[in-house]
Chains A and B, each alone.
Chain A
């Protein structure tokens, strides 16, 4: 087990290295850098000024040197300075992380706590009206883009309450904090909830046909015990996989949701930074997201072993 974890950690490092190269190269393949954008906006361009600024920002160096400079800094905890605000990138990124983390955590919590029970109910009542209704709802969840759902929610709240949820960086009470995050979290988590529900349903249907379910009934176990104690524990593995993948996909949904709801999290910040070709911000943010995804994947694999005794990571 120990050897497995060491190997996994090593593989995680390799993955992160690959991602760092890809994001670094991709950013520079995208046409234009911050200097181009600034000088385009100014209209008149003195090539000498432009070259000066590029040299100042280190953009005139060979790409390998630029990469080594970035990674070297990263390993020492130096993320560089934002081109736009000229503040340290760390100072720009850190305060935004909790906002997005709360939003993402709430969205995942929402998708698991709604998707799993509804999936079980749908499977247990397979073929009933309830099952059909739940499947239609989940299909709509998969089909509605989260930005559109977000806009619908905003429009609904304006027409119903003549106001819309406004982000407040310092909520006074827990309740206030929850209301601020709950609506956007549901907007972004609806898709995950729908997907979780469908996977739970199909996985449950498969498990409910197993012989050991009949054994449980033959023991005299109640339906609730059969469904949740015996079936769900077996059915939950593919669901965990999906939730793990969804955690990574969430960042895409968060970009639009944070924009729609005007929430100053890292997802929206990433898009803004990308528009300005603010390399230090984009590179470091993507690396941060990559670390989160890799760690979530690792946790999912560990959960497998915790839930299913047949899965043991040997050497």
Chain B
């Protein structure tokens, strides 16, 4: 390792590059992205669909489907080990053990023909030498920990007998069964009812703090970010365009894309507001990753774009203390605010 990693850093991702080879050409789903997560910290990754958030997560897990995807550069250092250098068997002993992942769709992420308990047991017994009886006890304890009522009975049931919220709790139980150092939650509440969303989110954060787990929360919901994360990175077209603490980001968003995201959060209208207030949107669409413009990928949609934006990709600069943005005009915006 060329440089020392601070002791409490759980995960350190450096210059990660993941590409996909498709019929319409090669595209860089994750392009030179770096970030780190400390123990007990929550890092949010924000962006639109297709910006590379999920592929970043799958790259850390080394679960990018190959073909068509491949990690072509960078390093992913978990607790001092570069995961990209491990062989398959060593990587399997890390997955589900030191890093776990919760997926977006609780309805389809559990195996329909296996009992809930057996699916949790599997996660335990893959990584710990325990008897099946002891593992079953652990599975029931995990279900109790994620506040599933009657855990003994639920462990005997199949996924279709549980509601979406219950299934996501079971997924969390499974992910945390081996007390991982890092938990990746990929839009864990998107598929759930709004009332359940808050409960699940609170549960994840509570358990994360109790167990001291590092958490990467992938979301497109800035409201969720404000509630749960300490630091945020904003991704656009495979690149990291802004990174900051939550306070700094919400106080002075420096990248026009981040500003656009914040402006497009629907607000509850005040009683005296006009009835037909139109929701603010970011004009245009995410560019096709196989045909990116030469300069900043956001320039075609950006109201502030200048000629330079269309020619040169802006570097990711620390515009304010602990606040990085990749925008030629970030400095101006920092001063204006």
Partner of A309, one of B96, B127, B160, B171: B160
CA distance A215 to B174 in the complex (A): 10
Chain B nearest CB from A13 CB (Å) reads: 33
Chain A nearest CB from B41 CB (Å) reads: 21
Closest to A210 in B: B108
- In the complex, the answer to whether A310 meets B112 with C-beta atoms within 8 Å is yes
CA distance A122 to B322 in the complex (A): 52
Interface range on chain A (Cβ under 8 Å from partner): 10 to 19
CA distance A165 to B108 in the complex (A): 53
B97 at interface by CB-CB < 8 Å: yes
- In the complex, the answer to whether A309 meets B109 with C-beta atoms within 8 Å is no
CA distance A219 to B94 in the complex (A): 9
B123 at interface by CB-CB < 8 Å: yes
Contacts of B96 in A (CB 8 A): 218-221
Chain B: interface residue total (CB-CB under 8 A): 27
A206 at interface by CB-CB < 8 Å: no
- In the complex, the answer to whether B111 meets A220 with C-beta atoms within 8 Å is no
A233 at interface by CB-CB < 8 Å: yes
- In the complex, the answer to whether A218 meets B101 with C-beta atoms within 8 Å is yes
A46 at interface by CB-CB < 8 Å: no
For chain B, residues 252 to 287, give those with C-beta under 8 angstroms from any C-beta of chain A: none
Partner of A216, one of B105, B108, B111, B171: B111
Contacts of A307 in B (CB 8 A): 113
For chain B, residues 90 to 109, give those with C-beta under 8 angstroms from any C-beta of chain A: 92-97, 100-101, 103, 105, 108-109
Chain B nearest CB from A213 CB (Å) reads: 8
CA distance A217 to B101 in the complex (A): 10
Given contacts A211-B109, A215-B111, contact A220 B160 (CB under 8 A): no
A202 at interface by CB-CB < 8 Å: no
- In the complex, the answer to whether B95 meets A217 with C-beta atoms within 8 Å is yes
- In the complex, the answer to whether A234 meets B113 with C-beta atoms within 8 Å is yes
CA distance A234 to B112 in the complex (A): 8
Closest to B101 in A: A218
For chain B, residues 51 to 89, give those with C-beta under 8 angstroms from any C-beta of chain A: 61, 63
- In the complex, the answer to whether B103 meets A214 with C-beta atoms within 8 Å is yes
- In the complex, the answer to whether A211 meets B108 with C-beta atoms within 8 Å is yes
Additional A-B contact list (20), CB under 8 Å, known A218-B63, A308-B113: A210-B108, A211-B103, A211-B105, A214-B109, A215-B110, A215-B111, A215-B174, A217-B95, A218-B95, A218-B96, A218-B100, A218-B103, A220-B96, A220-B127, A222-B92, A230-B114, A234-B111, A307-B113, A309-B158, A309-B160
6 nearest A-B pairs in the assembled complex, by CB-CB distance? A219-B96, A220-B96, A220-B95, A211-B108, A309-B158, A212-B111
